[in-house]
C-alpha cells in the first residue's frame, strides 16, 4: 500500500545490535530522499533466527509497501542461505525473488561500518579476529560489540564520511560468493534517488 503522503512506507528488519544503530545513523543523514521514502523505525530482530517470523508478521500487518532485511551473510553460511530461501519460497512467486529484499554484508556488517574510516577487506566473522582492524581505523580497542563500543563506533560515523564509504564499496563485489562483498551501495543509492522502480519490482514479485 502507498502511504497517504504519496511516499513509500519502508521497514527494515535488522539482524542485531550492530545493524540497527548503523542503519539508524545512515537513515538520519540528509542525502536520504525522505520526500519519496518514509522509513519506519528500524527493527532489531535480535538474531537471524527471528528474521522469517518477523518478516511474516510485518507482511500480515500490511502497513509497509516494502519490507527489507539487513543482515550478515556470514561467509554464505548454510543458515544465511536457508533464511534467504525461506523468504523467497514463502513470500515470493519465485524463491530467487526473495533475494531482492536482502541487504547483505559478507562476511559481516562491520565491513560497512569500518569502510567509513578507511580501506579494509574483512574475511573473518569473529569479532575478536576483526578487533585489530577496528582499533586501527577507529581507535577503539578490544572490540567485542559491547553496547558502549557499538555506541562509540557509530558515534564516529559522520555525514562527511559517506563519500569515502561509497568509493570503498564500489571496489567490493556484489557477488554473495565473494568475501568481502555487499549490495549495500545499491540500496543506499536507491534511498537517495528518485527512481522507485526497484520497489515496484519487489512488489510485483510478491505473492498476494
The string of pLDDT tens digits covering residues 111-139 is: 999 999 999 999 999 999 999 999 999 99
* Residue 35 C-beta-side C-alpha neighbours within 13 Å: 6
User: Is residue 162, in this structure, part of any structural domain at all?
Assistant: yes
How confident is the model over 10-54, as pLDDT tens digits? 999 999 999 999 999 999 999 999 999 999 999 999 999 999 999
pTM of the model: 0.95
Query: Rounded mean pLDDT of the chain?
Result: 95
Whether 186 is in a domain gets the answer yes
Tell me, yes or no, whether 1 lies in a domain.
no
Task: Report the C-alpha gap between 191 and 37 in whole angstroms.
Answer: 7
User: What is the count of structural domains for the chain?
Assistant: 1
Q: What percent of the chain has pLDDT over 90?
A: 96
Answer yes or no: is pLDDT of 6 > 60: no
The whole domain housing 132 covers 8-205
Report the C-alpha gap between 4 and 79 in whole angstroms.
Answer: 38
Mean pLDDT across the stretch 65-92? 96
How many contiguous H segments (helices) and E segments (strands) does the chain have?
Answer: 9, 6
The answer on pLDDT for 149 being more than 80 is yes
In a domain, 191, yes or no: yes
Q: Is residue 3 part of a domain?
A: no
Beta bridge partners of 206: 92
Q: Please report whether residue 2 resides in a domain.
A: no
Query: Which pairs with CB-CB distance under 8 Å and at least 24 residues apart come from 74-80?
Result: 74/106, 74/107, 74/108, 74/125, 75/106, 75/107, 75/125, 75/179, 76/106, 76/176, 76/177, 76/179, 79/48, 79/49, 80/48, 80/104
Radius of gyration of the chain (CA): 17
Q: Report the pLDDT averaged over residues 140-150.
A: 97
Q: Which residues contact 11 (CB under 8 A, 6 or more apart)?
A: 39, 40, 43, 58, 63, 64, 66, 67, 68
Residue 41: inside a domain: yes
Please check whether residue 138 lies inside any domain of the structure: yes
Banded pLDDT at 208 (limits 50, 70, 90): confident
Amino acid at each position: 500500500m502507498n502511504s497517504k503522503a504519496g511516499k513509500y512506507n519502508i521497514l527494515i528488519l535488522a539482524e542485531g545490535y550492530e545493524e540497527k544503530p548503523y542503519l539508524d545513523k545512515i537513515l538520519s543523514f540528509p542525502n536520504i530522499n525522505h520526500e519519496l521514502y518514509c522509513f519506519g523505525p528500524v527493527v532489531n530482530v535480535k538474531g537471524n533466527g527471528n528474521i522469517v517470523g518477523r518478516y511474516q508478521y510485518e507482511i500480515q500487518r500490511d502497513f509497509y509497501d516494502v519490507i527489507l532485511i539487513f543482515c550478515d551473510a556470514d561467509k554464505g553460511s548454510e543458515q544465511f542461505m536457508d533464511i534467504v530461501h525461506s523468504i523467497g519460497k514463502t513470500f515470493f512467486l519465485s524463491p530467487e525473488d526473495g533475494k531482492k529484499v536482502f541487504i547483505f554484508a559478507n562476511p559481516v556488517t562491520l565491513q560497512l561500518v569500518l569502510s567509513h574510516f578507511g580501506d579494509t577487506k574483512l574475511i573473518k566473522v569473529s569479532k575478536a579476529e576483526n578487533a585489530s582492524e577496528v582499533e586501527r581505523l577507529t581507535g577503539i580497542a578490544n572490540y567485542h560489540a559491547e553496547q558502549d563500543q557499538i555506541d562509540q563506533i557509530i558515534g564516529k560515523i559522520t555525514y562527511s564520511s559517506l563519500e569515502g564509504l561509497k568509493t570503498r564499496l564500489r571496489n567490493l563485489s556484489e557477488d554473495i560468493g565473494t568475501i568481502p562483498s555487499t549490495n549495500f551501495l545499491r540500496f543506499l543509492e536507491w534511498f537517495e534517488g528518485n527512481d522507485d522502480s526497484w520497489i515496484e519490482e519487489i512488489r510485483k514479485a510478491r505473492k498476494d
